Amino acid sequence: MADTKAAEMKVKVVTEPSLMTGAVPTHDWWDVEAIFKPGNYCYPAKKSIAEYHGKNLPGLFGEPRDWDIESDDWALPENWKEIIINGIKERLDKFRSLKIFMDCCVRCGACADKCHFFLGTGDPKNMPVLRAELFRSVYRNDFTTAGKILGQIAGARPMTFKVLKEWFMYFYQCTECRRCSVFCPYGIDTAEVTMMGRELLHLVGVNTNWILEPAANSNRTGNHLGLQPHTFKENAEFLLDDIEEATGVKLNNLTFNRKGAEVLFIIPSADVFADPGIFTFMGYIMLFEHIGLDYTISTYSSEGGNFGLFTNNQLMKKLNGKMYAEAKRLGVKWILGGECGHMWRVVHQYMNTMNGPADFLEIPKSPITGTVFENAAATRMVHISEFTADLIHQGKLKIDKNRNDNRIVTFHDSCNTSRGMGLLEEPRYIINSVCNNFYEMPENTIREKTFCCGSGTGLNTGEIMDLRMRAGLPRANAVKYVAERHGVNMLANVCAIDRATLLALNQYWNPEVQVCGISELVGNALIMEGEKERETDLRGEPLPGMEG
Amino acid sequence: MRVLKAFIAVVALVLVALVVAQVPGGQSLLGIVLPYLAFAIFLGGFIYKVVYWAKSPVPFRIPTTCGQENSLPFIKQNKLDCPTTKGQVVGRMLLEVLLFRSLFRNTRASIHDGPTLAYGSNKWLWLFALLFHYSFLVIILRHMRLFTDPIAGFVPMLEFADGFLEVGATTIYQSSFILLAAVTFLFLRRVVRPYLRYISLPADYFPLLLIFGIGLSGILMRHVFRVDIVSVKELTMGLVTFSPSIEGQIGAIFFVHIFLVCVLLAYFPFSKLMHLGGVFMSPTRNMANNSRMVRHENPWNDPNIKPHSYASYEDEFRQFMVDADLPVEKQPEPATAEPEAEEAAPTEEPKA
Ligand code: SF4
Ligand code: SF4
């Protein structure tokens, strides 16, 4: 099914007239209306979900209601424009970034062709500069002298329903990946503008279900799927059998909500139930068994990923607050975090500010190597890649690299960990330590210049599949390059959203390439105490030399 | 259309200057009143804008990290693209401000059959932006000849370095011509490249054309319609010593030049030209990536936003937890009904 669609798409992205294929738009951008049709928008939040958030954070999620995006009546509150304008005012007062990013863009266009959404759709409004202009034009109209006097000539326009529709369309065709900001001479981060835009949309109840429902679940059950504690535990324990089957070792180090453990380990919850995240999870806990780490996992704080990040800073804070609250309740010394992208954006750049100080924790120190993680001295939360790289460097792991010989690996840098944290070399160091075949994708598509999977920030929903496949094209294309050149068959990453979205993306563009977390590769390579002769990897596929 | 508006505006400004220079008192207006006024607007507006920005806090530490973080000792940090200390941040900012580091990264994407995306090197914008800004700076500094008496020591040196050819008795300064060339490039790329034409506003063409007008009138004044340089210097020195007067015959072209400069100054604080100040204050560039090392304070952090509490979580799921051998804080009371959770999310359906 995907094949015929993909074949069509392959031709369409190159031939369809768009700004990417050389066609020149005939209308000024402010004269082009956003038209919603099935497939180009995410469904709005169910009324009950909006109500739930509204109850927890009054006023931030607008009036709960059922509404139809395709219709011209969104059942907005009467004073919706006022709400938006006041909302802008409030945010200008709260965020210097917003003021600077509104005032300083020179429209040099350096960011224009850096956005994967633009590259895949050729839609002018997916150039970061125009995406921000959608907001900036309203800002100019109401908040600048030039805009007030000169109006349209100064690029100002009043807030109208037409503008609101554009906002909804294009602030949800941005994955807040920050790639544009790397290239901007003033560091203008369109992700920041999009985040503000989404906050404002929420104020008038314009939202998407795929973000608000997981956020509601995370709040209530601890994880975005809404797995209740017993189910979460069962799911995780189920994986112990799979580990035993592959290695012959029955792990008994998996505990939940255990007080007094040294380390609280927080993962993106998808790692306990979704393929291929589950293999990453197996890798984590095999590693911990291997080194004898005293750790526990919480069912209450069982979601590392933070869907609040995609809504507003208050919900982000509320969801994130669980991590410290639980660490405190359990009396652990420090927190270790699994492979997740936006979880780490929040942990690295927001957590301590929002929910710190974490003075009830200790400065993280690896009990195995004695390494003190000075770079986490305040937040007291360490990334699993930092932790593992240190173990490998200190020679604490028994590794048989050859077991990954059937994997020809490339590495996808997640937007958040690369551009919002700077975690670039640790994963590479690990891959190179546990695999013999590692090839980098082209230089313009990795590290700080990495391309988004195309479905981050709550866009990995089925209803916009075509859009996602287009937005993921730059990433997929770079994967294809190494697949053709070096026979790459495994796309490794450190992000749960990637493990879900890159899987779909590869099935579409590069069906021969599989997706895995780094810790899965570690798990495969680890020589576990008391293991049987390993014949299969964690996926149950034969190890190299065992195919017969 | 948008180019046209900007073009008309600049031509109109030139005409205004030419006309006003002819009417009685017009020269004093153009040469004395407006320069003071424009400078005051520039200074006041600039400060106002910077203060306006500075009034808003930076609630979160959000540097865009463009290199390896500082983590383990055996992994080399990229100190300039991912700084953790103040000194490193200064280094990053110097690279940004003096050498346009980010623009240097620029690439140009294209799509080909396959589909295949290609990213070619594209340093033209970087090069011409750099040439533009530096030649502008040199020209401003050279003009200090007019505003210092005795002439500041660096001016002759700069003039010597800048002058590359003598035409008759007049030295040709390369900076003037580089400026015009660079402005022309920046203008043409806006007009020629479809996506740039699409994003450009009158406010993007206007300053380029204005600066072109300033540069051209300057060159004309120097090499074609010679103006009386002694009178000009008297006027400019008068301006800085607050005793300005206009003596003798200064050519009309001078008034065009100074009028356009005044317009540029007065326009500056209200326009995108404020990137001159903004580049220093952009949080994605001027912050250290040390948010896990040192706590960053947010003045409006709301302590009332608390996570959904563990207690209410346990209240809702206690029986399940006990049945699944998960530790609980409170043992369930026997024979009571299912605890009612206050904050129950309305759906339980997993939807992988
Ligand atoms: S690179 Fe920066 S200044 Fe240039 S158009 Fe984009 S946002 Fe504006
Ligand atoms: S943040 Fe990413 S998705 Fe959003 S405009 Fe920039 S490059 Fe595009």
Note the pLDDT tens digit of each residue in A156-200. 999 999 999 999 999 999 999 999 999 999 999 999 999 999 999
Instruction: Quote the CA–CA distance of A66 and A207 in Å, as a whole number.
Output: 11
Position B337 scores a pLDDT of 53
If one counts every other C-beta atom within 10 angstroms of the C-beta of residue B327, the result is 14
The answer to whether position B5 is within a domain reads yes
Tell me the shortest Cα–Cα distance from B125 to chain A, in angstroms: 8
Instruction: Quote the CA–CA distance of A464 and A527 in Å, as a whole number.
Output: 43
Residues of B with CB below 8 A from A299's CB?
A: 321, 326
Instruction: Quote the CA–CA distance of A236 and A223 in Å, as a whole number.
Output: 13
The answer to whether position B312 is within a domain reads no
B292, A48: Cβ pair inside 8 Å?
no
Note the pLDDT tens digit of each residue in A334-344. 999 999 999 99
Residues of B with CB below 8 A from A20's CB?
A: 109, 111
Tell me the shortest Cα–Cα distance from A548 to chain B, in angstroms: 35
Task: Report which protein residue has its CA nearest ligand 2's atom 5.
Answer: A128
The answer to whether position B72 is within a domain reads yes
Q: What is the SS3 assignment for A411?
A: strand
Note the pLDDT tens digit of each residue in A69-79. 999 999 999 99
The answer to whether position B317 is within a domain reads no
- DSSP state, A361? S
Position B352 scores a pLDDT of 41
Residues 6 or more apart whose Cβ sits within 8 Å of residue A467: A39, A40, A121, A173, A459
Q: What is the mean predicted confidence (pLDDT) over A100-108?
A: 97
Tokens of A340: 């997740």
Q: How far is the CA of B331 from the centre of ligand 2 (A)?
A: 49
A49, B345: Cβ pair inside 8 Å?
yes
Find, in chain B, the residue whose alpha carbon is nearest to that of A178.
B64
Q: Does A34 touch chain B (CB under 8 A)?
A: no
Res. B351: pLDDT tops 60: no
Position A5 scores a pLDDT of 83
B114, A426: Cβ pair inside 8 Å?
no
Instruction: Quote the CA–CA distance of A437 and A492 in Å, as a whole number.
Output: 12
pLDDT range class, residue B187, cuts 50, 70, 90: very high
Q: How many residues belong to chain B?
A: 352
For residues A153 and B202, the answer to whether their CB atoms sit within 8 Å is yes
Q: Does A43 touch chain B (CB under 8 A)?
A: no
CATH assignment of the domain containing B85: 1.20.950.20
Res. B285: pLDDT tops 60: yes
Position B348 scores a pLDDT of 46
Position B226 scores a pLDDT of 81
Res. B13: pLDDT tops 70: yes
If one counts every other C-beta atom within 10 angstroms of the C-beta of residue A180, the result is 27
Q: What is the SS3 assignment for A365?
A: strand
Note the pLDDT tens digit of each residue in A140-153. 999 999 999 998 88
As for the ipTM of the complex, it is 0.94
Task: Report which protein residue has its CA nearest ligand 1's atom 5.
Answer: A107
Q: How far is the CA of A528 from the centre of ligand 2 (A)?
A: 43
Domain ranges across chain A: 24-207, 216-525
Instruction: Quote the CA–CA distance of A15 and B266 in Å, as a whole number.
Output: 47
For residues A319 and B306, the answer to whether their CB atoms sit within 8 Å is no
* CA-closest candidate to residue A94, choices B281, B49, B55: B55
Q: Does A446 touch chain B (CB under 8 A)?
A: no
- Measured N-to-C along each axis, helices A313-330 and A209-221 cross at an angle, to the nearest 10 degrees, of 20
Residues of B with CB below 8 A from A376's CB?
A: 292-293
Q: Please give the residue range of the domain that contains residue B89.
A: 1-279
Position B345 scores a pLDDT of 56
Find, in chain A, the residue whose alpha carbon is nearest to that of B121.
A444
B56, A95: Cβ pair inside 8 Å?
yes
Give the phi and the psi of residue A290 in degrees, each rounded to 5. Answer: -55, -40
Q: How far is the CA of A107 from the centre of ligand 1 (A)?
A: 5
Q: What is the mean predicted confidence (pLDDT) over A404-425?
A: 97
Task: Report which protein residue has its CA nearest ligand 2's atom 4.
Answer: A174
Position B283 scores a pLDDT of 97
Nearest CB to B56: which of A19, A99, A229? Answer: A99
Residues of A with CB below 8 A from B6's CB?
A: none
HSE (CB half, 13 Å, CA atoms) of A274? 24
A350, B60: Cβ pair inside 8 Å?
yes
Tokens of A484: 């053709």
Q: How far is the CA of A111 from the centre of ligand 1 (A)?
A: 6
For residues A29 and A130, the answer to whether their CB atoms sit within 8 Å is yes
Note the pLDDT tens digit of each residue in A442-470. 999 999 999 999 999 999 999 999 999 99
Find, in chain A, the residue whose alpha carbon is nearest to that of B66.
A448
Instruction: Quote the CA–CA distance of A187 and A108 in Å, as a whole number.
Output: 13
Identity (one letter) of the amino acid at A278? I
Share of chain B above pLDDT 70, in %: 94
CA torsion angle A302 A304 A305 A311 (round to 10): 90
Residues of B with CB below 8 A from A189's CB?
A: 62, 64, 284
Residues of B with CB below 8 A from A450's CB?
A: none
pLDDT range class, residue A229, cuts 50, 70, 90: very high
Nearest CB to B111: which of A13, A216, A234? Answer: A13
Residues of A with CB below 8 A from B69's CB?
A: 375, 421-424
Nearest CB to B69: which of A325, A422, A477? Answer: A422
* Ramachandran bin of A374, using left for φ above 0, alpha for ψ from -120 to 50, beta for the remaining angles: alpha
Note the pLDDT tens digit of each residue in A298-318. 999 999 999 999 999 999 999
Pocket residues: Cβ below 6 A from ligand 2: A 114-115, 117, 128, 131, 174-180, 190-191, 194
The answer to whether position B144 is within a domain reads yes
Task: Report which protein residue has its CA nearest ligand 2's atom 8.
Answer: A115
The pTM assigned to this predicted structure is 0.95
The answer to whether the CB of A184 is under 6 A from ligand 1 is yes
Q: What is the SS3 assignment for A508?
A: helix
A353, B344: Cβ pair inside 8 Å?
no
Task: Report which protein residue has its CA nearest ligand 2's atom 6.
Answer: A180
Question: In whole numbers, what is the pLDDT of chain A averaged over residues?
Answer: 96
Q: Give DSSP secondary structure letters for B157-220.
A: HHHHHHEEEEETTEEEEHHHHHHHHHHHHHHHHHHHSHHHHHH--HHHHHHHHHHHHHHHHHHH
Position A58 scores a pLDDT of 95
Tokens of A430: 């690990």
Tell me the shortest Cα–Cα distance from B195 to chain A, in angstroms: 7
Q: Does A326 touch chain B (CB under 8 A)?
A: yes
A110, B108: Cβ pair inside 8 Å?
no
Give how far Cα A443 sits from Cα of A388, A477, A486, B119, B282, Å. 25, 13, 15, 10, 27
> What are the start-end ranges of the H helices in chain B?
2-22, 26-28, 34-55, 86-99, 101-104, 124-142, 144-147, 154-162, 174-192, 194-199, 202-223, 229-240, 252-267, 275-281, 310-323
Identity (one letter) of the amino acid at A297? I
Number of domains comprising chain B: 1
